[in-house]
C-alpha cells in the first residue's frame, strides 16, 4: 500500500514538473470590494498600483504589450480611480479639508502628482485606449479590430513555425506563408487609415516585428532590382536627350555665324549712324515761345470808365460825410 502511494506521489510530481502551465500574472494592484474612506489608505493604494504599473510596463516593453497586458491595464485604471478619490474624500484629522490638500499640496515637489502623470503619459502616448471598445469605458474588453488583428497574427506565426519545423528554406516559407502575411499587413493598413495613424502601440509594435521577420529573417521582400533598372534607364534617357538638344543648338548657331559674317567697315558705319541719330534726338530747343498780345483797350472805353467813377464819388459825397482820410480812386489816364 505504501509503495502504491509513493508511486502515485512520484507520478504526480513528475506530471506537475513537466507540465508548462500558463498562470495568471501576479499583480499586486487589485480592486478592493470597499473603496478606501481615509487618506492614508488612498495613498497606499496609489503607491501599490503605480508601482505595479511601472514594474509590468518594464517587463512587457519588448515585445510591447503594455496596453493589452492585464496587470498594466488594471493598474492604470485603479491608479486613476484612487487618484480621483483624493478630491472627494475628506481628511480624518481636519474634516473640512480634502485628502488632496493633505497629500498633494505639502511641498513643491508633489511626488504623487508626478508619478500619476507619468503613468497617464505612458498610457496615452501608446494610444492604449484604441485597443478597447469606446462604449465599455474602463471595462477590459478588446475592440473587434484588435481581436481580428491578433487572430491574423497568430495564423501568420503558426505558418512560419510550421515551415520552420519542416525545415523549409526561405523560398518555400515565403511561398507558403505569403497569403497570411498579406492578410495581416493589409488589415493593419485598414486600422491605420481608420484611426488616423493613432494606432494602439501594441498592434503597431507587433506589425513592425512581423514585417522585420518577413523581410530580414526570411528574405521575403520584393526584389527591387527591376524597378531600379527601369528608373536609372529612364533618367539616363532624359539626360541624353537634353545633352543632344543643347549640342545641336550650339552647333547650328556657330554654323550660322560662319556663313553670314558682317564686314567690319559696315559695322563701324552703322555704329556712327546710330550715334548721330541719338545725338540729334537728344538736342531739344529751349527757345521761349512768343506770347500773344492782349487786345488793346480803346481810349473811349477808358474815358467812360473814368466819368462813371467821378459820378459815383459825387453822389457818395452828398449822402455821407467824409471822416478821416478817404482814398479817392485815381482816374485812368490814357497817354
State the pLDDT at residue 269: 61
Among the listed residues 119, 118, 140, the one whose alpha carbon sits nearest the alpha carbon of residue 129: 140
Those residues of the chain that have pLDDT short of 50 are 1-24, 135-138, 223-227, 264, 284-297, 315-326, 328-335
Q: Residue 168 burial by CB count (10 A; 0-12/13-18/19+): exposed, middle or buried?
A: middle
Q: How far apart are CA 250 and CA 248, in angstroms?
A: 5
156, 184 Cβ separation under 8 angstroms: yes
State the pLDDT at residue 229: 60
328, 316 Cβ separation under 8 angstroms: no
Where are the domains positioned within the chain? 39-126, 144-217
90, 37 Cβ separation under 8 angstroms: no
State the pLDDT at residue 270: 60
Measure CA of the first residue to CA of the last residue in the chain; give whole Å. Answer: 175
State the pLDDT at residue 12: 33
- Sorted by sequence, the CB contacts under 8 Å of residue 24 that are 6+ apart come out as 70
State the pLDDT at residue 37: 82
66, 202 Cβ separation under 8 angstroms: yes
State the pLDDT at residue 36: 82
140, 132 Cβ separation under 8 angstroms: yes
Amino acid at each position: 500500500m505504501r509503495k502504491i502511494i509513493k508511486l502515485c506521489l512520484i507520478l504526480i510530481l513528475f506530471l506537475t514538473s513537466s507540465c508548462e502551465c500558463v498562470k495568471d500574472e501576479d499583480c499586486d494592484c487589485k480592486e478592493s470590494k470597499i473603496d478606501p474612506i481615509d487618506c492614508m489608505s488612498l495613498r497606499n493604494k496609489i503607491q501599490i498600483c503605480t508601482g505595479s504599473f511601472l514594474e509590468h510596463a518594464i517587463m512587457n516593453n519588448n515585445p510591447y504589450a503594455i496596453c493589452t497586458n492585464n496587470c498594466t491595464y488594471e493598474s492604470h485604471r485603479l491608479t486613476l480611480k484612487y487618484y480621483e478619490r483624493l478630491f472627494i474624500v475628506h481628511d480624518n484629522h481636519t474634516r473640512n479639508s480634502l485628502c488632496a490638500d493633505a497629500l498633494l499640496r505639502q511641498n513643491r515637489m508633489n511626488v504623487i502628482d508626478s508619478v500619476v502623470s507619468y503613468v497617464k503619459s505612458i498610457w496615452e502616448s501608446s494610444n492604449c485606449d484604441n485597443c478597447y471598445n469606446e462604449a465599455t469605458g474602463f471595462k477590459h474588453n478588446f475592440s473587434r479590430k484588435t481581436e481580428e488583428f491578433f487572430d491574423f497574427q497568430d495564423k501568420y506565426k503558426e505558418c512560419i513555425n510550421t515551415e520552420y519545423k519542416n525545415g523549409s528554406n526561405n523560398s518555400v516559407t515565403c511561398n507558403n506563408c505569403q497569403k497570411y502575411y498579406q492578410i495581416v499587413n493589409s488589415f493593419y493598413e485598414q486600422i491605420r487609415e481608420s484611426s488616423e495613424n493613432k494606432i494602439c502601440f501594441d498592434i503597431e509594435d507587433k506589425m513592425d516585428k512581423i514585417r522585420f521577420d518577413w523581410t530580414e529573417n526570411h528574405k521575403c521582400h520584393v526584389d527591387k532590382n527591376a524597378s531600379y533598372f527601369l528608373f536609372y534607364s529612364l533618367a539616363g534617357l532624359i539626360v541624353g536627350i537634353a545633352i543632344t538638344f543643347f549640342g545641336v543648338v550650339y552647333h547650328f548657331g556657330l554654323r550660322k555665324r560662319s556663313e553670314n559674317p558682317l564686314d567690319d567697315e559696315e559695322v563701324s558705319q552703322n555704329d556712327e549712324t546710330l550715334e548721330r541719330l541719338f545725338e540729334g534726338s537728344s538736342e531739344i530747343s529751349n527757345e521761349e515761345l512768343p506770347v500773344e498780345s492782349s487786345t488793346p483797350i480803346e481810349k473811349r472805353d477808358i474815358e467812360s470808365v473814368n466819368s462813371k467813377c467821378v459820378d459815383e464819388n459825387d453822389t457818395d459825397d452828398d449822402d455821407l460825410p467824409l471822416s478821416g482820410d478817404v482814398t479817392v480812386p485815381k482816374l485812368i489816364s490814357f497817354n
